[in-house]
C-alpha cells in the first residue's frame, strides 16, 4: 500500500471542502504523526490494582508512563462535512496480565488492532485470550462506548496543512470486554466485577493527526497475540 504525500492529503482535503465531501476519503496515516493516546483514569487504575492486573504496551504501542499508552493511527476515513467515520490503529496492542495468588499461574489478555467507529460511538478491538477450556481464541469485540470530551477540531491551511485533534471520553467498558477480563484473567468475584465495572470511567482517548512525517513509518500489519 502506498503512503500518501502531504500534497495529496492537502489537495484531497481542499477538494472535499469544495464539493461538500460527497464521498469518503481514506487516509493511510502509518507514515504520518498520527496517534491515539489511551489515558486510563484513576478509577480504572484502581480497578487494575484491586485485581492485581498489569498493563503493558505491545505491538506498535508505546508506554508513555502513568498508565498512558500511545497507539499509532494507521488509517482514517473521513466522510461528509470533513467528519471522520472511523480510525484504525492496526498493529497496536495492550497486554493485560494477572497472576493468581491461589495457583501462581499468570493469565494474559490482549486487546489489539483498535478501531474507532464514530457512527456507532464505539471502540472495537481484537481480543485474544485463553477461554474457559484453555483454548486460545481471538474475536473482534466492542471494548468501549464513549462520549466526546473535546469535539473534533479540524484545521486546514492551504496548501499543505491539515490537522485533527479530539478527545473522546469518558470511556465505558462494554459487557463483552468485562466478560473477557473475567474469563481471560480468571478474575475472582465475577458477580462483583459485573456489578461495578460498568460504572467505572475508564479514561480518555485523544486523537492527534498531523500531516507531517514520522522519522520511521509504523507497520499497519495487524498484531497477532503470542498465546
Any bridge partners for residue 123, and if so which?
116, 144
Q: What is the pLDDT of residue 86?
A: 93
Cβ-contact 136, 172 below 8 angstroms? no
What Cα–Cα distance (Å) separates residue 143 from each residue in 15, 32, 146? 35, 26, 10
In a domain, 225, yes or no: no
Q: How far apart are CA 181 and CA 127, in angstroms?
A: 10
What does each C-alpha distance from 170 to 22, 103, 148, 203, 204 come to in angstroms?
Answer: 31, 35, 8, 5, 6
Helix (H) / strand (E) element for 122: namely strand 122-130
Residue 13 lies in a domain: yes
- pTM recorded for the entire structure: 0.88
131 occurs within a structural domain:
yes
Alpha-helix residue ranges (DSSP H) falling in the chain: 6-19, 42-50, 175-184, 190-196
* Interacting residues of 83 by C-beta distance below 8 A, sequence separation 6+: 118, 152
The pLDDT score that the predictor gives to residue 18 is: 41
pLDDT confidence of residue 151? 67
Q: 114 and 82 in contact (C-beta within 8 Å)?
A: no
Q: Using 70 as the pLDDT threshold, list the residues of the chain that sit under it.
A: 1-23, 82, 151-163
Q: State the residue for C-alpha cell 492529503.
A: 9
Per-residue confidence (pLDDT) for residue 140, from 0 to 100: 98
- Establish how many alpha carbons lie within 13 A of residue 222's alpha carbon, considering only the half-sphere containing its beta carbon: 13
Is 224 within a domain?
no
Q: Evaluate whether residue 1 is within a structural domain.
A: no
Task: List the beta bridge partners of residue 76.
Answer: 27, 87
Asked if residue 218 belongs to a domain, the reply is no
Report CA-CA distances (Å) from 17 to 12, 79, 112, 139, 162.
9, 11, 33, 38, 12
Name the residue range of residue 148's domain: 6-213
Number of structural domains (the chain) is: 1
Q: Judge whether 201 and 41 are in contact, CB under 8 Å.
A: yes
Q: In the prediction, which pLDDT does 158 show?
A: 46
C-beta of residue 92 within 8 angstroms of C-beta of residue 60: yes
Residue 95 lies in a domain: yes
Q: List the one residue out of 151, 169, 213, 182 whose CA is nearest residue 4.
A: 213
Task: Give domain status of residue 114, yes or no.
Answer: yes
Amino acid at each position: 500500500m502506498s503512503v500518501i504525500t502531504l500534497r495529496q492529503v492537502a489537495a484531497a482535503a481542499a477538494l472535499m471542502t469544495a464539493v461538500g465531501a460527497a464521498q469518503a476519503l481514506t487516509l493511510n496515516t502509518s507514515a504520518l504523526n498520527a496517534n491515539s493516546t489511551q489515558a486510563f483514569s484513576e478509577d480504572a487504575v484502581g480497578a487494575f490494582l484491586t485485581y492485581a492486573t498489569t498493563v503493558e504496551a505491545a505491538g506498535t504501542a508505546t508506554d508513555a508512563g502513568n498508565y498512558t499508552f500511545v497507539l499509532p493511527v494507521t488509517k482514517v476515513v473521513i466522510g461528509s462535512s470533513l467528519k471522520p467515520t472511523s480510525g484504525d490503529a492496526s498493529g497496536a496492542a495492550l497486554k493485560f496480565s494477572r497472576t493468581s495468588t491461589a495457583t501462581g499461574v499468570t493469565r494474559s489478555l490482549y486487546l489489539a488492532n483498535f478501531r474507532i467507529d464514530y457512527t456507532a460511538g464505539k471502540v472495537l478491538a481484537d481480543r485474544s485470550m485463553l477461554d474457559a477450556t484453555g483454548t486460545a481464541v481471538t474475536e473482534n469485540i466492542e471494548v468501549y462506548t464513549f462520549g466526546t470530551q473535546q469535539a473534533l477540531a479540524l484545521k486546514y491551511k492551504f496548501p499543505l496543512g491539515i490537522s485533527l485533534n479530539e478527545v473522546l471520553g469518558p470511556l465505558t467498558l462494554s459487557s463483552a470486554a468485562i466478560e473477557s477480563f473475567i474469563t481471560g484473567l480468571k478474575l475472582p468475584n465475577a458477580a462483583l466485577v459485573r456489578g461495578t465495572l460498568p460504572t467505572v470511567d475508564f479514561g480518555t482517548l485523544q486523537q492527534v493527526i498531523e500531516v507531517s512525517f514520522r522519522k520511521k513509518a509504523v507497520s499497519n500489519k495487524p498484531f497477532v497475540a503470542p498465546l
